[in-house]
């Protein structure tokens, strides 16, 4: 069957495999008739095949993005589903193959990850299939797996029937004739024997695979989802996973069932009857929900607490229909799985707690909002490294220097060496000290000199107390002041760069020039002197400030700013607003290399809008008060302040 690349493909693949298995159950495997008896397609084999084909089709749709083909057939010897392969007579099996049309599209982890079973979906394949593999062809890639069938029991006169070994005549009458396209109803007694055999033979391998699947999961609901798919259908017909909340209550996170039509009603039943927050023991018998199975057979259900590191993180309830109790081996295996799920939940919650603390600390080091400068369009883009789980070293601010009548504004963009809590402490010190010094009337040069002295003294004290491993903290800072011109628009800008990537000035006609001179990092020498540059930011011109997370974005041996790469990006932003420019620069940093951003990234854009400054005077403005063309705006050379 060929399936289109959409979200309905996995469901169609599951239906196709169930129908194909029903037909395979009444057919003979390929091979000599004398050596290929009819095979029994058990419920367990069908459940495994449906689960695995769903995982593989989902993976193909997500990563290959092409139409896929699903094939299913019986064979008499292990091997891939390929016309060139001749099967030797042997135990029969069901072979399922999923083919996509993009062999060159690398899956996560590469081809070795497929062979070693670490690609998405292949952990389950390796755990459940008798054999499996990946075939790369010129125009397609196929993933196949083989599940071994059970031999048919001899009937009267030496013939074979599709009944499982050990069935009585009464079992056969209750089972009824096989209907094409429909699997026979489940038979509890043979399934229990099959499951017990599997627990003894494959239980340790299954636990190892479960641990590998759960390792590294940092979202508790994802852990619960994986737990459900591990337990169903291998150990249970259905399961529910509860997670404890901060208040100690139980929240039903995931419900899974071999029959997807029963999930909704089962969820309602479990939500109305949650387990207690603290359970005295494990493997507690639990009342069978009335709508846990469509046939109303009933069965056995057990509840396992999820305890790790002395805390209860939730509970998992499993149920198996048609039995009065679960076997000891299955219960022990379920307990082992529950312990691994509990440890994975503890790890995920610890990560979430640390990430929450980091985000809270990060918010305290950054302004809650940026001030709005009349006559200017401003934008800021900030992305901490590592998905925000660590406290970043980049910081920014934009604030008025004094009261409204003062009409002066300060802006800064800085970067502290490092990404730990020590870096965060320097970030907080620097940003708040800049605000204090600016509002006390210190100019750009005086402010940088005093901040440099404070950082040098703080570094010396850190080394004296903590030794050389404490080390001083160096800071790169871009700091400037804007004094808007209410008559002609734009502003006088005074700016200095202390060890920071230089700001770039974009004119209305697309010219890009540096807006400051390079100088020493803050915190290196307590006697360092700093000089500022002054220029007019005319209406229609844009000032771009970035941290080294942008300029030093690396692809191999190249950086984004090599050969004035950032200036080239900015040159293509003529006519854009501040927010569009900031987003263009951010996207350029992401597009420069496919690997994740490995440093904090901050972009600040200040654009003098061409409209008349508000408050410049009632009514219309005289011709002399309107923004002048660039040719009349005076010299553009950057001038050091005196």
pLDDT for residue 14? 92
Q: Which of 302, 294, 293 is nearest to 321 (CA)?
A: 293
The whole model's pTM is what? 0.50
Q: Please tell me the distance from the alpha carbon of residue 345 to that of residue 243, in angstroms, as a whole number.
A: 9
Burial 57-74 (b: 16+ CB within 10 A, else e): bbbbbebbebbbbbbbbb
Q: Please tell me the distance from the alpha carbon of residue 613 to that of residue 376, in angstroms, as a whole number.
A: 9
- Give the pLDDT means over successive 10-residue stretches in the chain (642 positions): 89 91 65 52 88 90 86 68 42 87 57 43 80 82 86 50 41 40 38 64 85 88 93 91 92 92 90 84 87 79 92 93 88 93 93 78 69 90 69 82 76 81 71 90 94 85 66 85 91 96 95 95 89 95 95 92 94 94 95 87 93 46 38 39 40
User: Do the domains spanning 2-180 and 366-614 agree at the CATH topology level?
Assistant: no
Edge-to-edge order in the sheet of strand 93-100:
2-3, 68-75, 93-100, 141-148, 131-136
168 contacts: CB under 8 Å, gap ≥ 6: none
Phi, psi angles (nearest 5°) of residue 179: -100, 130
On whether the 366-614 domain is CATH 3.40.710.10, my answer is no
Map tokens 């005086």 to a residue: 446
> Is the Cβ–Cβ distance between 337 and 235 less than 8 Å?
yes
On whether the 2-180 domain is CATH 3.50.50.60, my answer is no
pLDDT for residue 624? 38
Determine how many CB atoms are found less than 10 A away from the CB of residue 51: 21
The gap between the terminal CA atoms of the chain, to the nearest Å, is 79
548 CB-side CA count, 13 A = 16
pLDDT for residue 420? 60
Determine how many CB atoms are found less than 10 A away from the CB of residue 620: 9
Helix (H) or strand (E) holding 452: helix 444-466
Select the CATH number that applies to the domain covering 196-359 from these four: 3.40.630.30, 3.30.1450.10, 3.30.450.40, 3.30.1330.10: 3.30.450.40
CA distances from 445 to 386, 399, 427, 523 (A): 35, 18, 20, 15
CA distances from 52 to 57, 167, 180, 223 (A): 9, 28, 22, 19
Helices (H), 108-219: 110-116, 122-128, 169-175, 188-214
Q: Kind of pairing, strands 2-3 and 558-559?
A: unpaired
Q: Which of 412, 543, 541, 407 is nearest to 484 (CA)?
A: 407
Q: Please tell me the distance from the alpha carbon of residue 604 to that of residue 598, in angstroms, as a whole number.
A: 19
Query: How much helix, strand and coil, in percent to the nearest 5, is found in the chain?
Result: 35, 25, 40
Q: Please tell me the distance from the alpha carbon of residue 261 to that of residue 9, in angstroms, as a whole number.
A: 18
pLDDT for residue 189? 38
Map tokens 């008025």 to a residue: 400
Whole-number CA gyration radius for the chain: 34
Domain ranges for the chain = 2-180, 196-359, 366-614
Q: Please tell me the distance from the alpha carbon of residue 77 to that of residue 198, in angstroms, as a whole number.
A: 21
Beta bridge partners of 535: 493
Q: Please tell me the distance from the alpha carbon of residue 584 to that of residue 516, in angstroms, as a whole number.
A: 22
Burial 549-564 (b: 16+ CB within 10 A, else e): bbbebeeeeebbbeee
pLDDT for residue 26? 56
> Is the Cβ–Cβ distance between 327 and 195 less than 8 Å?
yes
Q: Which of 479, 382, 364 is nearest to 425 (CA)?
A: 364
């Amino acid at each position: 069957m060929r399936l289109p690349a959409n979200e309905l493909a996995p469901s169609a693949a599951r239906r196709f495999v169930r129908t194909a298995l029903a037909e395979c159950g009444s057919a003979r495997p390929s091979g000599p008739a004398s050596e290929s008896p009819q095979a029994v397609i058990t419920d367990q084999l069908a459940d495994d095949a449906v689960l695995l084909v769903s995982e593989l089709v989902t993976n193909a749709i997500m990563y290959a993005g092409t139409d896929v083909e699903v094939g299913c057939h019986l064979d008499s010897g292990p091997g891939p589903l390929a016309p060139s392969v001749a099967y030797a007579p042997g135990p029969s099996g069901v072979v399922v193959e999923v083919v996509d049309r993009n062999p060159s599209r690398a899956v996560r982890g590469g081809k070795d990850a497929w062979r070693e079973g670490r690609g998405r979906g292949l952990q389950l394949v390796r755990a459940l299939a008798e054999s499996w593999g990946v075939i790369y062809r010129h125009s397609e890639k196929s993933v196949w797996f083989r599940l071994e069938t059970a031999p048919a029991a001899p009937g009267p006169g030496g013939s074979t029937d599709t009944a499982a070994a050990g069935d009585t005549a009464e079992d056969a009458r209750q089972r009824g004739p096989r209907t094409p396209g429909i699997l026979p109803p489940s038979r509890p007694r043979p399934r229990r024997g099959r499951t017990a055999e599997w627990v003894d033979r494959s239980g340790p391998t299954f636990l190892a695979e479960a641990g590998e699947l759960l390792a590294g999961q940092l979202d508790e609901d994802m852990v619960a989802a994986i737990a459900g798919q591990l337990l169903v259908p291998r150990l249970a017909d259905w399961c529910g996973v509860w997670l404890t909340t901060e208040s100690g209550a139980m929240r039903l996170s995931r419900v899974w069932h071999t029959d997807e039509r029963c999930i909704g009603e089962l969820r309602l039943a479990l939500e109305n009857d949650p387990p207690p927050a603290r359970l005295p023991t494990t493997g507690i018998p639990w009342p069978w929900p009335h709508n846990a199975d469509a046939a109303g057979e009933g069965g056995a259900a057990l509840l396992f607490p999820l305890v790790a590191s002395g805390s209860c993180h939730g509970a998992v309830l499993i149920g198996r229909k048609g039995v009065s109790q679960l076997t000891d081996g299955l219960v022990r295996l379920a307990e082992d799985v529950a312990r691994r799920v509990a440890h994975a939940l503890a790890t995920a919650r610890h990560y979430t707690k640390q990430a929450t603390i980091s985000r809270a600390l990060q918010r305290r080091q950054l302004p809650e909002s940026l001030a709005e400068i009349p006559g200017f369009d401003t934008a800021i883009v900030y992305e901490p490294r590592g998905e925000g789980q660590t406290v970043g070293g980049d910081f920014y601010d934009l604030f008025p220097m004094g009261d409204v009548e003062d009409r002066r504004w300060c802006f800064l963009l800085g970067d502290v060496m490092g990404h730990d809590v020590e870096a965060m402490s320097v970030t907080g010190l620097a940003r708040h000290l800049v605000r204090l010094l600016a509002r006390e009337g210190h100019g750009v040069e005086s402010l940088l000199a005093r901040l440099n002295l404070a950082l040098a003294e703080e570094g010396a004290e850190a080394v004296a107390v903590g030794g050389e491993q404490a080390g001083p903290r160096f800071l790169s800072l871009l700091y400037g002041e804007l004094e808007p011109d209410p008559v002609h628009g734009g502003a006088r800008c005074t700016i200095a760069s202390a060890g920071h990537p230089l700001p770039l000035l974009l004119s209305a006609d697309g010219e890009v020039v540096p807006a400051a001179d390079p100088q020493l990092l803050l915190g290196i020498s307590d006697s360092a002197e700093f000089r500022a540059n002054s220029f007019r930011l005319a209406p229609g011109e844009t000032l771009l400030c970035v941290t080294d997370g942008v300029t030093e974005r690396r692809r191999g041996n190249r950086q984004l700013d090599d050969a004035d790469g950032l200036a080239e990006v900015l040159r293509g932003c003529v006519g854009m607003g501040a927010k569009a420019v900031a987003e263009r620069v951010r996207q350029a940093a992401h597009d420069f290399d496919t690997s994740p951003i490995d440093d904090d990234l901050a972009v600040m854009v200040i654009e003098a809008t061409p409209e008349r400054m508000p408050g410049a005077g009632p009514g219309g403005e005289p011709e002399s008060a309107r923004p002048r063309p660039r040719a009349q705006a005076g010299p553009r050379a950057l001038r050091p302040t005196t």
